[in-house]
Amino acid sequence: MVKFQSPTGMRDLLEEDFKHFQKIERVCQEIARFYGFKRIETPILEESALFEKGTGFSTEIVKKQMFNLETKGGDHLVLRPEGTPSIVRAYLEKGMESLPKPVKLWHFGPFFRHERPQAGRYRQFYQAGLESLGSDSWIIDSQIIQIFYNILKSLGFKNLIVEINSIGDSQHRAYYKKNLVSYLKDYRNSLCSDCKRRLRENPLRILDCKQEKCQKIIRDGTPQIIDYLCRKCNNHFKNVLETLEELEISYKLNPYLVRGLDYYTRTVFEIFEETEPTFLPTKATSDVAKAGARDTESEEEKNQEPLALAGGGRYDDLVKLLGGKETPACGGALGVDRIVNLIKKRTKKTRKIIKHRIFLAQIGKFPKMKALKLMEKFRKSEIKIAEALDKDSLSSQLKLADKLKAEYVLILGQKETLEEKIILRNMKTGKQKIIAIKKIVGEVKKKTK
């Protein structure tokens, strides 16, 4: 018999994951709303052309990572690989151009990229994104970074670092690209095969290639984009950095950060959690640490490059490129799955059973029916109550109530059900009394106040 599995790089999310996803969504919603961002949810499928044009033909996402499909009607659609082009499409389609600027939108949902699966990198993953459309002010870039930073802080991340760079506007970037290509041409044969291709198609991306041989060439004197910025872009960047200092947000200039998408202009950023060793291991402690680490971290995870928790930047040309008026904009996205993985690692040891103060037990066919009906009354009164309706023996139900640390158990027997009554037992004292069913919700409310 064939065993079915979820598609490569795609996961089932169970309650223990989902509760974190929901918490992150809630924190994003509270903070985004406070800053005046309105929720938007765009379709999972979009026209392929939107990303080919918006994200860019030569980007890794469009070249290698899109899940394409053709509809019965012959439309070419893709599972959305990122959020920004969809939001710009909706902004234009829904006439948001006429709204007061900046138009601020936030979203939360799944995205799809055909990547090589590894820890923290999935083919279906979730992002929470923010987009602010219509202002070219540096304060917006700072605000976007501040919001992502604060969302992560609220989720308990302590050692955050923003890596930041400016890639200038498209005009000056073209000049830089030329210089970069002419410099790297001499090293062509030493670059990895991807970078050989990038040299023709997307030379900027070479700067953040992860291959060691490329890294060495890049760090050995490649011209830096920051030296090619015009005065305006330079001032813009300086103001963003000064604001981050004022906001006490830790940042690090990373002259090689380019983020690989065609539409970015000026500020680009990524946010990481810095992992600091808490002690210098001696031989003995390092052996212990290694043995301990093996339980929680795979070899692959340990050798992995640090993964960004969020990334984004300014995209002043995208709205126009997709058919709108010239509209400077800035935004970014949080990688929800990666955040969940880190939160789970952090909270693993403190997992405890969820207490239920009330347990409803029953003995027999009619009591079962009555119990099912009674549950609804408790739900409407917002009183949490546990049950084991499928169980028949009272002792196994009481055992479970004990496990859940229930303070009170309600017992519906045949006799009580016939008399429209129910037993209320205090689990601590063992005392019990018989109460009319119609009064039980009120009684429990009083007791559990």
What does the alpha-carbon distance between residue 312 and residue 264 come to, in Å, rounded to a whole number? 9
How far apart are CB 56 and ligand ATP at their closest, in Å?
Answer: 12
* Residues numbered 67-96 forming contacts with ligand ATP, rule: CB under 6 A: 82
| Using rule CB under 6 A, residue 102 touches ligand ATP | no
DSSP 224: P
Taking alpha carbons only, the member of 86, 83, 103, 106 closest to residue 25 is: 106
Judged by CB under 6 A, the residue of 113, 173, 198, 266 near ligand ATP is: 113
Of 29-37, 180-188, 302-310, 428-436: span binding ligand ATP (CB under 6 A): 302-310
What does the alpha-carbon distance between residue 232 and residue 311 come to, in Å, rounded to a whole number? 23
Taking alpha carbons only, the member of 50, 90, 80 closest to residue 263 is: 50
| Using rule CB under 6 A, residue 122 touches ligand ATP | yes
How far apart are CB 315 and ligand ATP at their closest, in Å?
Answer: 12
How far apart are CB 445 and ligand ATP at their closest, in Å?
Answer: 44
Of 36-44, 231-239, 241-249, 333-341: span binding ligand ATP (CB under 6 A): 333-341
| Using rule CB under 6 A, residue 115 touches ligand ATP | yes
Cα 181 to Cα 30, 49, 256: the distances in Å are: 45, 28, 15
Judged by CB under 6 A, the residue of 338, 368, 370, 421 near ligand ATP is: 338
Paired sense of beta strands 358-362 and 408-412, if any: parallel
How far apart are CB 122 and ligand ATP at their closest, in Å?
Answer: 4
What single string gives the DSSP state of each residue in 98-151? GSPSSEEEEEEEEEE-----BTTB-SEEEEEEEEEES---HHHHHHHHHHHHHH
| Using rule CB under 6 A, residue 307 touches ligand ATP | yes
Of 303-311, 362-370, 393-401, 426-434: span binding ligand ATP (CB under 6 A): 303-311
Judged by CB under 6 A, the residue of 337, 362, 397, 412 near ligand ATP is: 337
What does the alpha-carbon distance between residue 336 and residue 313 come to, in Å, rounded to a whole number? 18
What does the alpha-carbon distance between residue 112 and residue 122 come to, in Å, rounded to a whole number? 8
What does the alpha-carbon distance between residue 150 and residue 128 come to, in Å, rounded to a whole number? 13
> Closer to ligand ATP at the Cβ: 310 or 319?
310
Binding mask 339-378 for ligand ATP (x = CB under 6 A): ----------------------------------------
CA-CA-CA-CA torsion for 427, 429, 431, 433, nearest 10 degrees?
A: -60
Q: How remote is the C-alpha of 64 from its chain's centroid?
A: 22
> Closer to ligand ATP at the Cβ: 52 or 115?
115
Residue nearest to ligand ATP (CB): 335
How many residues make contact with ligand ATP (CB under 6 A)? 18
How far apart are CB 82 and ligand ATP at their closest, in Å?
Answer: 5
> Closer to ligand ATP at the Cβ: 310 or 398?
310
How far apart are CB 148 and ligand ATP at their closest, in Å?
Answer: 10
What does the alpha-carbon distance between residue 2 and residue 382 come to, in Å, rounded to a whole number? 45
Of 40-48, 236-244, 330-338, 409-417: span binding ligand ATP (CB under 6 A): 330-338
| Using rule CB under 6 A, residue 331 touches ligand ATP | no
> Closer to ligand ATP at the Cβ: 173 or 338?
338
What does the alpha-carbon distance between residue 175 and residue 197 come to, in Å, rounded to a whole number? 20
Number of residues that make up the chain: 449
Largest CA distance in the chain: 93
Pinpoint the alpha helices (H) of 125-246. Answer: 138-154, 170-185, 193-201, 212-219, 231-246
Of 248-256, 305-313, 321-329, 384-392: span binding ligand ATP (CB under 6 A): 305-313
Judged by CB under 6 A, the residue of 102, 335, 367, 413 near ligand ATP is: 335
Positive/negative CA dihedral, 178, 183, 184, 186: positive
* Residues numbered 221-260 forming contacts with ligand ATP, rule: CB under 6 A: 259
How far apart are CB 181 and ligand ATP at their closest, in Å?
Answer: 23
Residue ranges that bind ligand ATP, judged by CB under 6 A: 82, 113, 115, 120-122, 125, 127, 259, 307-311, 333, 335, 337-338
